[in-house]
Amino acid sequence: MPELQSPGDAQSTVATLFKVKKDTPATVLDDYAKIAWFFTQKPIFENALRLVSEKLWDKYREYQGKNPGWQRNLFTTAIRDVSLAYGWQYDGDSSVVLVGAVPPEKYLEWTSQGQFFKDDMDLKHGEHTHTFQWLAVALERTALGLTNDPSYLYKNSFNVMTQSKKELIVPGFKSKTGIQGPTSDYSIWAWVADCVPTSFADGKTMPQGASLFSDTYRTPQILMQYLLDTAPSDHFIAEYLRIRYKKRNWFTDDSARTYANVSGGATAKTHAVQQHTGKPGWNTISTSGSPTAFTKDAGANFRTAPKDTVLKKFHGKNGYMTKPD
């Protein structure tokens, strides 16, 4: 089956595949369909993402102006402030870093609270990709004609169930058999915003039936490819990620800093485990003896000495970024 062809196609697909639990308004299904269609509209979504980037740069500049070089994690602090304005939390009551598959009840707890989190399971998927997707939706809510607030849709994604006996084709790594094929074990979250590129499909081609494959911004890897390879140099999010990946040595070829040269496998997970295991204030959540997430109470995070800053200009506004090591 090809990509979604129209808003009507998105709506009919949602109605075929999903239903809502009791006390959840049926209007959420139309809203999820509108969001999925929005993610397929590349120029429109890219413009919304640029607005998100500008808001994050404004917050980043604000904090850097108050405490130049002193405060850690300014990028995630900026995400926190912008998220709070739209009904989410990030590094609010607590911080969450995912490094594996957490128990479903824990994931339900975090999403139902409106918690954004850093996803360190795969660098090509990206650490904050879902946050960028949902903030773009929040900024475009009126234009998209959503009945329900985007943060409500995020928090209530677990209140949407699959229709009986309706299946989607998923890649082998998402299948209990380890082989690409149909399954009834999928979610509205995956269908809307966590698809996988067709490069992961058998033969690298789109399956004929309904599937979780997409080469649009419903797929985090496609969004990361845009940010690393195509987004303009005055795009704050894109440039921040390029600098971060270079600083962490996450490009396999430093002379070709492109999405194709991003380290795969467990590189991000290994780094996150090393950064958080046994560190003061961080709690470890484990599954079968292996860490799958780290959490800590939020709070001010300042250095013992300031780092150098460098003057940058994004979205027509000058400001200072912490100088990369």
Mean pLDDT, residues 224-228 taken together: 97
Report residue 308's pLDDT band, with 50, 70 and 90 as the boundaries: confident
Residue 119 lies in a domain: yes
Report residue 73's pLDDT band, with 50, 70 and 90 as the boundaries: confident
The least confident of 21-25, 103-107, 155-159, 273-277 is: 273-277
At residue 147, the pLDDT reads 98
Residue 111 lies in a domain: yes
Q: Which domain holds residue 293?
A: 7-297
Residue 307 lies in a domain: no
Report residue 99's pLDDT band, with 50, 70 and 90 as the boundaries: low
Residue 137 lies in a domain: yes
What is the spatial distance between Cα 270 and Cα 120, in angstroms, rounded to a whole number? Answer: 9
* CA atoms in the 13 A half-sphere facing the CB of 52: 27
Q: Of residues 294 and 244, which shows the higher confidence score?
A: 244
Mean pLDDT, residues 93-112 taken together: 71
- Which of 195, 49, 70 lies closest to 135 in space, CA to CA? 49
What is the spatial distance between Cα 315 and Cα 235, in angstroms, rounded to a whole number? Answer: 7
The tally of domains found in the chain comes to 1
Q: Any idea what the Cα angle at residue 84 is, between residues 53 and 239, rounded to 5°?
A: 20
Residue 143 lies in a domain: yes
Whose tokens are 């490069």? That residue is 199
Residue 181 lies in a domain: yes
For β-strands 94-98 and 118-119, DSSP reports them as: parallel
Report yes or no on whether pTM surpasses 0.85.
Answer: yes
List CB contacts of 90: < 8 A, sequence separation 6 or more.
76, 79, 80, 83, 84, 115, 116, 117, 131
Residue 83 lies in a domain: yes
Count, residues in the chain:
325
Mean pLDDT, residues 21-45 taken together: 97
Residue 302 lies in a domain: no
Residue 218's alpha-carbon distances to 36, 66, 134, 159, 224, in angstroms, are 6, 37, 11, 20, 11
Report residue 215's pLDDT band, with 50, 70 and 90 as the boundaries: very high
